[in-house]
Each structure stands twice: as C-alpha cells, then as structure tokens.
Amino acid sequence: MTNRIPLMAGNWKMNLDHLEANHLVQGLALALGDAGHDYAKCEVVVIPPFTDIRTVQTIVDADELGIKYGAQDVSVHDNGAYTGEISTAMLTKLGVSYVVMGHSERREYHGESDALVGAKARKVLDAGMTPILCCGEALEVRKAGTHVEFVLAQVRAALEGWSGQDVAKIVIAYEPIWAIGTGETATAEDAQEVCGAIREALRADYGDATAEAVRVLYGGSAKPDNIKELMAQPDVDGALIGGASLKAESFAAMAGFYA
C-alpha cells in the first residue's frame, strides 16, 4: 500500500430499521472511541438502507463523528417519474459520501448490466460522491479458472470511455460471489491475486498515477479473524463488509486492524 488510506465499509444490505440503525451507529461510535480509533489510519463508512440514512446523518452530525456513510444504490435519472428510485441529489442533500453500484446481489436480482453499473458510477462521481464499484465472479467461473479475466472485463466494461483522472477518484470492491455470506472467505492470496490484477489493469489502461490512487477493497466473509491477513496484502486497501458490519464490536475491531 502506498499512501492510500485504508477503508472499511459496512454494507448493511436489507437489514436494520432506522431505530436499529440509531443503536448500531451509536454503538459503533462508542466502540471506536474506546479503541482510540485513528481515522487517518482507517476510514470508516456505514452503508445502510435508504430509509436509515437520515437517522445516520443526524447522529453523525450531532456528535461530530468521524464516521462517514453511503448508499447501496442510486438512480441514473435526475428526477421525475421514476417510481421507487432515489436520485444523487437526494443523497448529496443527506451528506452521503459513498455509493455502491454493481453489487452481485443487484446484478443477479435486478438484472443490472455493466453498462448500467458504469452509468451509475458516472452519475455518482458527477454529483461529487465516491462510487464503490463492485465486481466479482461466481463459483463456476472460479472453478473454470477464468476469474481474473472475468473480473477485469466487468471493470473495463463499466469504466469504458472514462479518463484516468476520473477513474482515480473511485473505489473498486472485489467480491467473489462464492465467498459472500457463505462463511467461505477467499484466502488472502486469492484476494491479492484479483485485487493486484485490477491494479495492474488500471496501470496498463491509465498509467501509474491512477493505478496507485484507486483503493481496491475485498469483500466476502471478511471478519475480525481474517482482516489483518487480508490487509497485509499489498493491493488490498480495505474491505466491503456485510454480516460482520452489523455488530458494533466486530466492525470496530476490523476498522482497528492496524493496531
């Protein structure tokens, strides 16, 4: 890792109502405070469902916490007749810093294509927030041994036509689908293999400055037990954490991986 600040992002998925969100963020702030968390050594981001964002904002602002927050998805449209959608303007108004797109669950259950994922990332960047672009292969692809090509193709398709300057501002999250919520973690070497290949592809496509600026996260059953080993890999700059981010203690412990 060069001077990229590590990032621990907790993707709550469709868990926790706004009252539970209140409880978790307060608990997280306490746990990080007790541990003397240094935000310069690891950025901490919670990514709740849309309905919790206002609650999270209120707590973060009132207590002037160093915790940042994100959204799990966004519309590519600006406003108007798009029932059920949430715009980038709505998110920026709530102080959202990060937006996830291309999570395998949205690709699978909502048919999201690389082109749509790329359009969402563009929209988010243009609105002044940071996209967290997710990629990752299914078990069949891994078994066939074509996971590196598969993941690089996903990333390149989403970022087609982007300048190196813009790419430098995004976060990429490598989440092998077979490791998500299964308790089956990719080994640190598996994570490094793909995260390193992503960085080398960025270097080939955009040059050193972009490749060195982009933070590449690992996601998939990351937890307090394996976070140190994952973070010791040169191209793993953080984690996108599902289950283990729903408990203040485990998420705070992961954010304190450097201690």
User: Where does this chain bind ligand 13P (CB under 6 A)?
Assistant: 11, 103, 175, 180-181, 219-222, 240-244
φ, ψ for residue 81, nearest 5 deg: -80, 70
Q: Which is nearer to ligand 13P, 7 or 241 (CB)?
A: 241
**What residue number has its CB nearest to ligand 13P?**
242
Q: Which is nearer to ligand 13P, 154 or 210 (CB)?
A: 154
Q: Which is nearer to ligand 13P, 103 or 199 (CB)?
A: 103
CB of 185 to ligand 13P, least distance (A): 8
How far is residue 71's CA from residue 222's CA, in Å, rounded to a whole number?
20
221 is in an annotated binding site: yes
CB of 156 to ligand 13P, least distance (A): 21
178 is in an annotated binding site: no
Q: Which is nearer to ligand 13P, 107 or 199 (CB)?
A: 107
CB of 11 to ligand 13P, least distance (A): 4
CB of 249 to ligand 13P, least distance (A): 15
Please state at what angle helix 18-34 crosses helix 50-62, rounded to 10 degrees: 40
11 is in an annotated binding site: yes
How far is residue 138's CA from residue 169's CA, in Å, rounded to a whole number?
27
Residues marked as catalytic: 103, 175
- The two three-digit tokens of residue 41, written as one number: 């050594």
13 is in an annotated binding site: yes
Q: Which is nearer to ligand 13P, 37 or 103 (CB)?
A: 103
List the beta bridge partners of residue 32.
none
CB of 204 to ligand 13P, least distance (A): 27
Please state the residue numbers annotated as binding site. 11-13, 181, 221, 242-243
Please state the residue numbers annotated as binding site for substrate. 11-13, 181, 221, 242-243
